[in-house]
Structure formats: C-alpha cells, structure tokens
A and B are shown apart, each in its own frame.
Chain A
Amino acid sequence: MTRWTPDPTFYPSPREAVAAPAEKLAYVAAFDRTASRPDAIVVLDTDPDSPDYGRVVGWTDLPHLGDELHHFGWNACSSALCPTAPHPHVERRYLIVPGLRSSRIHVIDTRPDPRQPQVVKVIGPEELAKRAGYSRPHTVHCGPDGIYLSALGGADGAEGPGGIAILDHTTFEVRGAWEADRGPQFLAYDLWWHLTQDVLVTSEWGTPSMIEDGIIGELLLGRRYGHAIHFWDLAKRRHVQRVDLGDQYQMPLELRPAHDPTKSYGFVGVVISVEDLSASIWLWHRDGDAWAVTKVIDIPAEPADPGDLPDLLKPFGAVPPLVTDIDLSVDDRFLYVSCWGTGELRQYDVSDPLHPVQTGSVHLGGIVRRTAHPSAPDEALAGGPQMVEVSRDGRRVYVSNSLYGAWDDQFYPDGVGAWLAKLDVDVEAGGLRPDPRFFPHGEEFRGLRVHQTRLQGGDASSDSYCFP
C-alpha cells in the first residue's frame, strides 16, 4: 500500500538531503568465501547514543549458498520525486541484493523490524538469463521507471556482453535488457547517470571468466580488462559514445556523477596502470557536444621488499594503490578514494573538480603496512579500506575491507579477515579520523567477509536527485 505523504527519506535536491538526520542503522553485505555457509545481510548499530553502537545487532541469512554478495541497493529513492514519472508515495523499504557469483537476486524487506530484515523474494539466475540475457548482477540503482541493475556477464555466465537489466518497481520481476542499441559496448561493471540530462554512464571490468578465478596476469599485462567508459541516451536507451582512457589504464570501475543535477561531470576510479602500477581518478565532462575525460588524480605505487609481497606482486617490487572504490559526498565537495593495496583512504576537496586538493588520509591495513585500528592497536589488519560509503550529511564515512573473494586471496593470501571502520569527517576544514568506538571486526562477522554498506534512509551513492 502506498503512503499518503512522500517517504520522508526522499529529498528533491541534494541540498536538502544534506540536512537529513543521521542514520541509526547500516546494512552490510557479508559473504562466505568457502560457500559452505549462507551469505548474509548484517545490520550494524550506528547510533552513538545506543549501548550497541558499533556492534552487529541484526543478521539475515540468505536461503542458498555461494551467492557472493557484493553490491546492493534500495527499491526506491529520491528519484521517485522526479517529475516525469513521480511516485513519491512508495516506501524506501526493500533492499535489492544480487549474488555476484550465483546470479540470484534477493529482495529483502526491512520492515517491520529494520534490525531483522526478511528475505521476501528470490529471483533465480535462469529468470535473469531468460528475460534479460544477463548474469552476474552487480550495481543496483533506483531509476524513475524501474530498478536498473548492471550485470557483468551474458546469459551463459562466462562471457559477455554484460549490460543492464530492468526490474519492475513493484513486483521486482525482471522486465528485460535495458539496451536498445549497445553499440561497441561489451564489458560491464558500474552504471549511474545524469538523470535530468538523459545521460547514462557505464564502466568496464571484465567478463565472468576474466575475474571469477582471480585476476589473470596475462590478461592484465595484455591490457585486456576494461579501459573505457560509455555514455548512453537514457531516454532512447542507445549507446552514444565510447571514451577510451588508454589501454594502460586497466579497470575503470566506480562511477560517481555530481549529485547536483545541473552539473555535467563525474569521477571514475581506475584500479591500475600497467605501465607503473599507479592508480588514477578521472573526471568526465562535456567537451562541446561530446564527452571527454581528464585525469585529475594520480596515485603512485609504493616500492616494497619483494619478500613482503604476495606472489602476484613479487616481480614488480612495489605495492599498487589499487583504487577499487570511490565515493562523492552528497554536496559534491569531498571525494573519497580507497587505496585497497596500500591500505589508505584519501579525502580530496573537489569543489573545483578539475583540480582536486588532498585534504585527508587515514591508513588502515595494506598489503605491506598492515596498519592497525586505534581501538585495537596490537592487531595488524589485512585488507584495506575498500567499499566506502558516506552519510548524507557528509560527516561519517564507513569503509569495509573485502574486495572480491578470489582477488582477496591473491593480494592478501594469508587471509583478508573482516573489518569495518567508521571515520569522522571535519566537514568545514576537511580531514578525517577513525572513530575509536566503531570497529566491528573478526568474530563479530562470524567468519564472513564484508563488502558494501548501505545506510538506513539513504547515503551518498544510493540516491539521485532531479532538482538542484
């Protein structure tokens, strides 16, 4: 049943969303690498006045094994206020949770008890394959006309093309493939958009066979992973332009467009350059009638003793930063950059998007550094800041430490562990530091690894706005 007034978590503009109340709960995707126990959606208490602050307070097991939960999203968000197909009286209530390995899509109800979400629907891989021709579902975004779901693989689950499937807003059934004309696009990963400008953007990782058993050195050095981003006409569902970053820039992953709908730029993080192992951040922007990209941040690799490195990196004698996730604050001022290899989260002031200025850095974990968290100074941490989520007011940043099962094992062969940290941000001057009271880790996650975090009521990567 619909509501009489709009869902209070919907905001017409990012300006208003910044004033949203602080989240009281966070939902975290957790998965069992051995596929011998069910993956889970874990609920964390994020209310600093609660006695359970920073603890696991809810746990929802999935019905099957081996899903490999990764990214997930809400059934509805602020885009429900968009004027062409408004439906603001629906509830932000269901989490759409794809299994990246199983291709199952779970619908999880966060009502009536938000601490004990319930699995209410499971869509099998065969339905995604039959109706949309895709597998390996990844990013979920609540769109004006349906739920957009990117998928890495084609129907066979091994090769491409990957693309976007549309789910019905109400029944969550797979309506079909989104693309009317995919042009030269073959590899898929993330998707997001400039909603009011009818522009959709996608990025490239690799097909399932290129990633599921680990990163393949020959493919990487052969520059075969993705290195381009694609621009689409959101209304006509047609490919418009492929922008190549250069084939040395392997794996442009997370796409973070400006939240302000009148702005026409966004950031994309590149995992690694095969020329010097550096990572980079690129800005996409308009150039006349076309789209262009400009590299705005370069993060160099750090020299290291080969003895401290996993086999994969020994020949190089250096630790690549491995920028695997980035996130842009709702006010479009701060960009957060996860360096999963070197174990660092960086904060940049991107008020001038072409000229980012670094304003903060926190070290946690890292392939060589293994920096401990201040609340457990004797525990060397594996993994690094990976998935990063920012609260709507921009004051709190959450980072979790697993990248992707098979890749965790290559870069952290002695075990990646499981931890999730919260960082407090100085939103006036910039800068951030770990909250010593918030560090769920180890046994709290019952042996599962932790990936994406979603904040109750929405966060910096969940909502799109149609009004400035």
Chain B
Amino acid sequence: MTATTWATLAALGAFHGLNPAMGWLFAVARGLQERSRTALLRSLPPIAAGHLASVGIVAALVTATRSVTASTALAVVGGVLLVGFGLWRLLSERHFRWAGMRLSAAQLAGWSFLMSSAHGAGLMLLPVLVNEPMPGGHPGHLAAAPVGALPGLAAAGVHTVAVFGTALVVAMLVYQVLGVGVLRRAWFNVDRLWAGVLVAAGLVTLIRA
C-alpha cells in the first residue's frame, strides 16, 4: 500500500474518532459518573477494539475478495453498497437504539462494534481498499484468499490506531479542559455529513470501476 493509502486510512480514523457517537463521549460520561479519569482511560481500549472488529471484518473481506475476483466487479458491488447505505443513512431519521450505561469491558467493546457497524464505519474504508493496486498476487487462485485478507487487517489496524488516538485526545480535552457544555455548540451533525461522504465515495468507486 502507498503512503497516500495509509494517510487516507489514518485520516478516516481521525474522522471516526472525532465523532462523539463513536465512543469518546461514552468514555467521558463514564469518567464523570465515576469521578475518575482512570474510568475514562479504561473505557477507550474496549471501544477501540469494537471499532477494530467492525472495520476489520469489512476490510479483510474486501481485500480477500479482491485477491480472487476481478476488481471491477468488486468495485461495482462495493460502490452500489456504499451509495445505497449512504442514502439510507441520509434519508432515514432512525438512530441507533441502546439503553444501558453500566457495561463491562466486553460489553463496551460489543457496543462499540454495533455502533461502528450501524454507522457503516467499515464501508468507509471500501473505496480506499478497492482502488488500491493489487500487490502482485494470483487473481483467481482461491488459496490466495486468506493471505489476501492480511492487507485489509493491516489497514483496519492503522485506521483504528488513528481512531483511538483522536478519541483519546478529544476525550481528555473535554474531560479536563472544555467540559461537556461544548457539546451544545460544537456537536456538528457528522452523521449527516458522513452519509453524504459515503454516497460520494460510492459514486467515485463506481466511476473508477
């Protein structure tokens, strides 16, 4: 993968990490509830793990499929998927439903997995991975699939490190300095923006395919 690809994956990670719905706000809430910065810090690794699982599945699937099928077909399917999901996110007013705040680390990771998946976090990586040049593999050879998944997992890993880093910085900033009052002014509707980006990314993938 090129430096641009890695940078793009990291930038997408920062974008996901900034979104309060993706986990840092939950970490802050746990910190404030327990009056403990440790509670905040302890919450972030499970949240990152859940995110990793969510994007990892999609990324591994994409790169493994790429190593066995024509990338045009994959790009078309992926593009259509993105546009469809993006439009649904844009037009549907339904939001993620969850009641319960006292979660164990495993439950927290599960929550993060569901939240990331519901937002289509993994799909966001799709255009990056689909447009990546093939690393001289053996297209059409089924045995290549497990190996083909590795670049996807690496991509998900880099992405998640960026999510974690961004979430950590924002969570600490809000907890220590800004206070949650900042939410009232600064919580831009990233979900709507996100949906728009998903549609655009899908269209770009389709055009290139």
Interface residues of A, Cβ cutoff 8 Å to B: 1-6, 8, 10-13, 16, 81-90, 143-146, 169-170, 195-198, 234-236, 261-262, 466-468
Contact = CB atoms under 8 A, between A and B. Distances in A.
Contact of A6 (B32, B33, B183): B183
Interface in B82-129: 93-102, 111
Interface in B45-59: none
A196 B29 contact: yes
Nearest to A199: B102
Contacts of B185: 5
A262 B93 contact: no
Contact of B101 (A5, A84, A262): A84
A83 B102 contact: no
Contact of A198 (B94, B101, B183): B101
Nearest to B185: A5
B208 interface: no
B183 A85 contact: no
Chain B contact-residue range equals: 20 to 34
Contacts of A10: 184
Contacts of B26: 83-84
A15 B30 CA distance: 18
A33 to B, nearest CB: 38
21 contacts: A2-B189, A5-B187, A5-B189, A10-B184, A82-B29, A89-B187, A89-B189, A89-B191, A90-B93, A144-B99, A196-B29, A196-B33, A196-B102, A197-B102, A198-B99, A198-B100, A236-B100, A262-B32, A262-B33, A466-B101, A468-B33
B42 interface: no
A13 B29 CA distance: 11
A411 B158 CA distance: 71
Interface of B: 20-21, 25-26, 28-29, 32-33, 35, 93-102, 111, 180-181, 183-185, 187-189, 191-192
A90 to B, nearest CB: 8
A85 B97 contact: yes
B80 to A, nearest CB: 25
A3 B180 contact: no
A170 B98 contact: no
Nearest to B102: A198
Contact of A2 (B21, B99, B181, B192): B192
A347 to B, nearest CB: 29
Contacts of A197: 101-102
> Which of A83, A234, A261 is the most central at the interface, judged by chain B CB atoms within 10 Å of its CB?
A83
Contact of B93 (A86, A170, A198, A261): A170
Given A8-B184, A88-B183, A467 B98 contact: no
A422 B20 CA distance: 40
Contacts of A144: 97-99
B184 A143 contact: no
A146 B94 CA distance: 11
Contacts of B187: 5-6, 88-89
